[in-house]
Structure 1
Amino acid sequence: MSALSLRGVYAAYPDGAGVRVLLDHVDLDVAPGEVVVVTGASGSGKSTLLALAGLLRRPADGDVLIAGTSTARLSERKRTALRAERIGLIYQSANLVPTLTAREQLELVGHIAGAPRAATRARADDLLAELGLTTRAGALPAQLSGGERQRVGIARALMGRPQVLLADEPTASLDPALAEEVATMLAVQTRKHQLATVIVTHDDAPRRHADRHLALRGGTVQELALSS
């Protein structure tokens, strides 16, 4: 079973006197352990695709299934709960809370979910160790390098043991060496934890570690060779 499925997803917005179609009844399946990279020109619908897959927006038509669960008729409360339980989100700038240490960024996720404090601390420390951040656990975001901040963002996205991982331009603000490091780490974590990972990017680094490369063009998803 696919961990993430889009079925006939349609999204558009008013454009002058007409309508601009971003996603024209798109179908997409992402399996556990698979990294899918999505590219496309600015305004092609990449961010819209992630927002729909992450249950942050509803499609005008079609359905998004998370681990086989249809979300088309779910209430906003149930969609929010499903997102918290099954989906991890990674942002371009990591979006860390400036006043929280690396460990506290992760612990906040457990606190919001109502997890026991001891279990939350243990999970946070395990992830920090896994991503090579043990010695940086007490550092504030301003004390971390760009690559370290993005690794904290990855660890935070994994705190809830998601099945789907969505990353929006996760290497865009990094130099080539750090971009390669973060792209490698995303691929490793995807396979280790059997995540269905979708990365929207303009960079080459994530594509080098992808299982599939998709391009958004004219509202449709086209599969490209990984060398394209």
Structure 2
Amino acid sequence: MKQKLIFLMFVLIICFMYVNIGNKTNAAPFTTDLNKIAKLVWEQNGSIHEWSLYTREAIRIHSISDWDKKVRSLQKEFPLMEWKIDREKGLATGIKTHKEFVETIKIMSTPTNHFASSYLLYEMKGESWSSTFAKKIDQMLPDKMDVLYRGKPTIFSCIKGTFNDKIENVLLTKKDQLLQGFNAKELESLKETDFYSISAFSPQFSESIPTKNHKMNLQVGLRKNGLGAKTTFVIGTPIITIEY
């Protein structure tokens, strides 16, 4: 009897260890990539004016009744959001404004070959960024992700701001500094006198999207606003999600 009790306790301990390991894996920080971008921006004496954390997952909706059911479910789960529903366009949007950020949930369904291509989107967007606020987000998001998504959504991280450098060839200089800082390889680019747009791949970021010939997980946009003016930047992984 004593041996059976010891064996049972051993099994329970092993199960508890596996559950904890699983929970730690699921609780991985959502803000890791944002923090990496912010750190390099600060190292380059840049200022952050806007940030966005955006998640997306394809969902199965086969009919308008499925769509209505999903919308009602989200309204029930997030009753404090202000909801706008457009059944004809297949768009439902919930918005909640906090002191430090704005939350948005969207269902987007587009008819394609008589079937609906549907996505569930969640976004947090704010202005100021700090490591303290990042910890707050990482505490908030796991429960919301469990409610919203069945699988693992794609996560998009993006930061917009300015550099004060007024050196000659500032766009080229900043482009090289950012790619070097991210240990990134430039893949494609559009370069004009006052504007650079760069697509690259960096081993520092986990998310990526396939292109025709390679994987890409970093985009950088740089714009010079005039002689002696600040340089506006937008940095996103795996792609930019903030307008610039």
Where on the TM-score scale, by shorter chain, does this alignment land: which range?
under 0.3
TM-score for both structures, normalised by structure 1: 0.26
Judging by fraction of residues, say which structure has more strand: 2
| Rg larger in structure | 2
TM-score for both structures, normalised by structure 2: 0.25
Judging by fraction of residues, say which structure has more helix: 1
